[in-house]
Amino acid sequence: MKIYKAFAKVNIFLKITGTRADYHEIISRFMRVQSLYDELSFVAKEESVSKAKKFEIIGDFSCSTEQNTIYKAYIALLESLDDNSANSLKTLMQKYAIHVDKKIPAFAGLGGGSSDAATYLKMCNEVLHLGLSKNELATIGLKVGADVPFFIYGYDSANVSGIGEVVEEFKEPLLELEVFTPRIEISTPKVYRIYRKNFFAPIDGFKTDELKKTSSLDILKNMSVDEANDLFKPALQEYKELKNHYRHGYYFSGSGSSFFRVKEE
Q: Which positions are annotated as active-site residues?
A: 9, 147
- Helix, strand or coil, per DSSP, at residue 102: coil
Tell me the C-alpha distance between 84 and 124, whole Å: 14
Q: C-alpha dihedral over 81, 22, 216, 254, to 10 degrees?
A: -90
* Closest by Cα among 114, 120, 6, 101 to 59: 101
Cα–Cα distance for residue pair 89/128, rounded to 1 Å: 7
C-beta separation of 256 from 242 below 8 A: yes
- In contact, 95 and 37? CB cutoff 8 Å: no
Say if CB 111 and CB 147 are below 8 A apart.
Answer: yes
Other CB atoms within 10 Å distance of the CB of residue 104? 23
